[in-house]
Amino acid sequence: MKVFVTGATGVMGRSAVTALISAGHDVACLARSQSAADRVETMGASAVRGGIFDPDVLVTAFAGCEAVCNMATHIPVGYAAIRPGAWRVNDRIRAEGSRLVAEAARVAGVRRLVQESVSLVYADGGDEWVDESSPVPVNRATEPMALAEAHAQSFAGCSRDSVVLRLGGIVGDDEYTRWRLARARSGQPIGVGPPEAWAHVVHADDVGSAVLAALDAPSGIYNVGAEPVRRRELAQTLAGAVGRNRSSFMSRTLVRLGGERLELLTRSQRVSSAAFVGATGWKPQYCELSTGWVEGVLAEVA
């Protein structure tokens, strides 16, 4: 199958490209610069120069593709995430970029669209299991994600399919994990929200296998991740990976200063991926959180 991937040089995009190529698919990717194009080609995919906000480029790039996987994001890391305007680029990519991708895919005759999203959109569920029918409150922080999902859903119909993947928080070879590990090593707090609240996580490598599985999934919205863990366990696992016996949590004052964006990270979300497993047979390689999830990046935060 010929598959096009946007956001190919990001964490999710790289994982998707690797999984798709390993499965024998012909993969093309959007690249904003020559250096990005070089990285894409190093992975074994072909590169198309252009940006996600150029409709003409997208239509031409998508021509002849059977599926488009929109993995484009621009997530700020660490305390940069609470600075004014930090999320402007990412919000535009999700709100406007997703619309342009869906429209271009329709014009180009693409039959399947896979759109990334996040399970953070769910309301706090306490200790109850969260599935795809659980409440999704929309505020300024979650609206761009809700729009991206809506644009993907509007693509479906007339022999077209769309699959939205609500991914857990990524742990593995990514900048946020590196940031948390570095803070844990220096004894700084890395936990957010109530320690006994639930967190939904997914290993970076399992994002790619989920995108691959989504090529055969019925249209719909699906949760994707490993077994949920208590936030205390998540923080302690990361701290333990860098040789710390104890972990700590950010103060409530700092969390309040982070506003709606940081509030998302405090919600208790015991998210189930059973629907996606049942629809596709997908199973994460990394089923339960352990220090092994971050072995590959420990040398970088030494």
What is the structure's pLDDT at 301? 80
pLDDT tens across 58-108, in order? 999 999 999 999 999 999 998 888 888 899 999 999 999 999 999 999 999
Contact 6, 72 (CB under 8 A): yes
pTM to 2 decimals? 0.96
CA 269 – CA 284 distance, rounded (Å): 18
Task: Give me the mean pLDDT over the 277-295 stretch.
Answer: 97
Count of CB atoms situated within 10 Å of the CB of 39: 18
| Structure confidence at residue 302 (pLDDT) | 67
C-alpha 291 chain-centroid distance: 21
Q: What is the pLDDT of residues 154-210, one digit of tens each?
A: 999 989 999 999 999 999 999 999 999 999 999 999 999 999 999 999 999 999 999
In tens, the pLDDT along 107-123 reads 999 999 999 999 999 99
Per the CB < 8 A criterion, the answer to whether 262 and 146 are in contact is no
| Whether the Cβ atoms of residue 65 and residue 28 lie closer than 8 Å to each other | yes
CA-to-CA distance for 292 and 172, rounded, in angstroms? Answer: 9
As a whole number, mean pLDDT of residues 47-67 equals 97
Q: Are 164 and 196 in contact (CB under 8 A)?
A: no
Per-residue pLDDT averaged across 39-43, rounded?
97
Say what the pLDDT of residue 81 is: 83
Q: How is the chain split into domains, by residue range?
A: 2-301
Per DSSP, 48 falls in state E
Please report the pLDDT score of residue 220 as a whole number: 98
CA atoms 196, 121, 227, 22: torsion sign = negative
What are the pLDDT digits (tens) for 232-259? 999 999 999 999 999 999 998 888 888 8
Place of tokens 């706090």: 124
d(CA 195, CA 178): 21
Q: Which CATH superfamily is domain 2-301 in?
A: NAD(P)-binding Rossmann-like Domain (3.40.50.720)
